[in-house]
Amino acid sequence: MIARIYQLLDYIMNIVILSLIVILGFLPVITFFPTIVALLGVKFFYVKKKAWGSHVEAFIHYFKNNFKFAFMSQLIWMLVMLIGTYNLIIVQNMNSIYKVMISSFTVFFMTFMSLVIGNMLSSLLINPNDTLIEHLKKSILLVVIKLPQSFLLVFIFFIGGNLILIIPQLVIIVVGLLFFVYYILQKKIWYEFFIKRI
């Protein structure tokens, strides 16, 4: 019984520490995606590789090694979001039928591209020697093949984001839980690749 309590406390502490690392990594805007990649790297491969003395050392390793590609992915994502937002602003003055059609397509496109780029971050870790085009192809293919898991991920992040807006005090716990969910779903989406890589 006591062992289970310690296990639960350790799990909660991991969520808190993880959340603090994520929040600190997100403060500078340019480190948003590199932070996600580093956290995925720690979670995916830390148990398998004992080259690091702690999770923090592993985090620094993945952050440095993958910064360039992750930063490029972030720039692409920001560009997509910028174009999508601009498009949504423009359609506000259109006829109601066109407004609904174009707005729906724009939101779908922004969501789809966010999922593709999210998959690219996992692809970077699993297939580090692939080119950008190869990462992109695999990512698009997996979004289509694993569509239910992909959109479940979007829905969960939507709920989590709104929960933070409603109760900001929960930000540390919610951010950590969202990352764990992201990790679990991404592992399912990339299952076949993990079998080969791990």
Identify whether the C-beta of residue 164 lies closer than 8 Å to the C-beta of residue 170. yes
pLDDT at 197 (0 to 100): 46
Determine the pLDDT at residue 191: 61
| Average pLDDT of adjacent 10-residue blocks, the chain of 198 residues | 72 67 70 81 62 68 84 87 86 77 83 83 77 81 79 79 76 72 71 52
Quote the pLDDT of residue 47: 53
Domain extents for the chain?
A: 2-197
Q: CA separation (Å) from 168 to 13, 15, 192?
A: 19, 17, 38
Q: What is the value of pTM for the model shown?
A: 0.69
CA gap 116, 45 in Å, rounded? 22
Separation between Cα atoms, residue 122 and residue 125, nearest integer Å: 5
